[in-house]
Structure formats: structure tokens, C-alpha cells
Amino acid sequence: MASRLHRVARSGRCESRTREGRTTSRVRRRLACVTVLSLSALLVACQTMEEVSRIYLRATPEGRKLLAKWDRYAELADVLKKYHDDGDLGERDVLAVLKAAGVVPARAAGRPGAPGPPPPEAAQLAAGRNAWGWPLKAGVVSSEYGRRAARPHHGIDIAADTGEPIYAAAAGDVIYSDNKMSGYGNVIILKHDDKTTSLYAHARRLGVRRGQRVARGAPIADVGSTGRSTGPHLHFEIRVADAAVNPRSVLPKSRF
Ligand SMILES: [Zn+2]
């Protein structure tokens, strides 16, 4: 009797285990199915977002012009990618301007090439991700932030047509609008808080003067090729004190 009970108990456990096994594999199959469907939906959504932005832009004449520009730049990307800085830009000159504006402590300025503090995290920037916008409405990134030919590149180069408006990436005060910095050509520096600045170089024309206050998105200059440059482009920097930050870590995601 004891052994019969034992057998029944054991077979009950087996049945229960088999049922659990079936249930588990059914759940796994459903999970896999849901995952595949979710990934497909995400892919479709991404394409749809691009389409939605295109539909939105097609609704106005300005939007249609911008779309046409995006498409033309995409076709000319191989040519535009040849337009960037031509050699070193005057790091010492930038630090002198930032020091004069009180953005860089006196002891940190005037030592170009010296190891500085590590670049701050994007989250540390006072303006915050939502407060920044791209300085051009269309273009092709021809040189990323980082090292270029074994030298540091403190900004990002965006090639575009000569004369295209350059916009303030965030609200700020103009602390420099001139052409006396080595290699930068016509350049503007905006101060956004007591330590954050942005810089716009190689402009054909400067549209604001030192001391002016500008809103985010205000036109401040035109794209050009002044200074050390291989063709029309904007060299754009964001700094916290003297440390350059990768603009892509601060700006919203962009199609260029
Ligand atoms: Zn550059």
C-alpha cells in the first residue's frame, strides 16, 4: 500500500511537471512571438517617423525647401565631406577669449596641449539636452569631434552652402565676434552660463556684435570658408570652461 501511494504520488508529480513544462514552453513561444512583433513594429515606426517628418515639412513652402536641401546635400555628400578645417585652429586664442570672459579660471588658461580635466558629461551642461538645437538646418557632417590626423578636433564640422544661416545653438551672450583667432576665420563665441560656451567658425559674415544677447535659434552668421578651411562649412564647438564636449552628446538626434 505504501509503495502504491508512493507510486501515485510520484506519477502525480510527473504529470504536474509535464504540465508545467508544456506551459513554460508555451509562454516562451509567446514571448518570442511578442518580441519579434515588437521589433518589427519598432522598425516600421522608425521609418514612419521619417515619413511623418517629411509629410509635416511638405505642408509649408519653407518645409519643402528644407526637404529639397536635405535631399540635395545627401546626393552631394561625397563632395561636401571634403569641406572641413585645414590644419590646426588657434586653441591658445580661444582660451584667451574664454579667460577674458571669466569662463576659464586664470590658472587653467594659456596652456594649450596641457592635459586638462576630463570632458564633462552632457548631463552636467547647464543648458541641458532640451535647450540645445543644431546650428544649421541642413548639412553634412564632414569631420566628427575627437581626434583627427592624431590631433584633437575640439568641434564638429558641418558642410553646407555658402551663405546658409548659422543659428545660436542655445540662448546666450555674444562674448566674441571677430576674426583675430588663428585659423578660425570669422568666428562667434556665445556664453550660455558662467562656464558653458559655444563657438561658430569660418563664417562668411558675422551677424551679431559682442555684448548682444541672442535667443536659441536666432541667426548669428552665415556659412563661409574663412580662416583655415578647405571649403564652406561650420566648425562648431561646445565647451564647459576650457574642456570641449562632443556636440552630438548634447544636441538632439539629427539626420545629418
Ligand atoms: Zn572643425
pLDDT tens, residue by residue, 176-200: 999 999 999 999 999 999 889 999 9
State residue 182 phi and psi, 5-degree precision: -55, 125
Report pLDDT for 176: 98
Cα(250) to centroid of ligand 1, in Å? 17
User: What cell does 11 get?
Assistant: 506519477
Detail the DSSP E strand segments found in the chain: 140-143, 146-148, 151-153, 156-159, 165-167, 172-178, 186-191, 196-203, 205-206, 213-214, 219-222, 233-240, 243-245
User: Percent of the chain having pLDDT more than 90?
Assistant: 56
Single-letter residue type at 90: G
Cα(106) to centroid of ligand 1, in Å? 25
- Number of Cβ within 10 Å of residue 109's Cβ equals 19
Cα(55) to centroid of ligand 1, in Å? 33
Report pLDDT for 197: 95
Burial 21-56 (b: 16+ CB within 10 A, else e): eeeeeeeeeeeeeeeeeeeeeeeeeeeeeeeeeeee
Instruction: Check if the beta carbon of residue 143 is closer than 8 Å to that of residue 152.
Output: no
Mean pLDDT estimate for the chain: 82
Per-residue pLDDT band for 46 (boundaries 50, 70, 90) equals low
Does residue 5 surpass a pLDDT of 50? no
Q: Between these two residues, 21 and 230, which has the higher pLDDT value? A: 230
Cα(150) to centroid of ligand 1, in Å? 14
Report pLDDT for 182: 94
Cα(47) to centroid of ligand 1, in Å? 31
Instruction: Check if the beta carbon of residue 111 is closer than 8 Å to that of residue 98.
Output: no
State residue 148 phi and psi, 5-degree precision: -140, 120
- Number of Cβ within 10 Å of residue 59's Cβ equals 9
Q: What confidence tens digit (pLDDT) does each residue in 98-108 have?
A: 999 999 876 65
Cα(48) to centroid of ligand 1, in Å? 33
Report pLDDT for 200: 98
Cα(142) to centroid of ligand 1, in Å? 9
Q: What confidence tens digit (pLDDT) does each residue in 125-171 have?
A: 655 555 899 999 999 999 999 977 778 999 999 999 999 999 999 99
Cα(69) to centroid of ligand 1, in Å? 22
Cα(193) to centroid of ligand 1, in Å? 23
Tell me, rounded to whole angstroms, the distance of Cα 126 from its chain centroid. 16
CA atoms within a 13 Å half-sphere pointing along the CA-CB vector of 149: 6
Over range 220-244, report the average pLDDT.
96
* Predicted TM-score (pTM) of this structure: 0.75
Instruction: Check if the beta carbon of residue 163 is closer than 8 Å to that of residue 138.
Output: no
Cα(156) to centroid of ligand 1, in Å? 5
Report pLDDT for 18: 54
Q: Between these two residues, 37 and 141, which has the higher pLDDT value? A: 141
DSSP 61-99: HHHHHHHHHHHHHHHTHHHHTT-SB-S---HHHHHHHHH
Cα(86) to centroid of ligand 1, in Å? 9
Helix (H) or strand (E) holding 8: helix 2-58
Cα(235) to centroid of ligand 1, in Å? 4
State residue 27 phi and psi, 5-degree precision: -60, -40
Does residue 63 surpass a pLDDT of 60? yes
Cα(72) to centroid of ligand 1, in Å? 23
Burial 156-175 (b: 16+ CB within 10 A, else e): bbbbbbeebbbbbbbebbbb
Report pLDDT for 29: 76
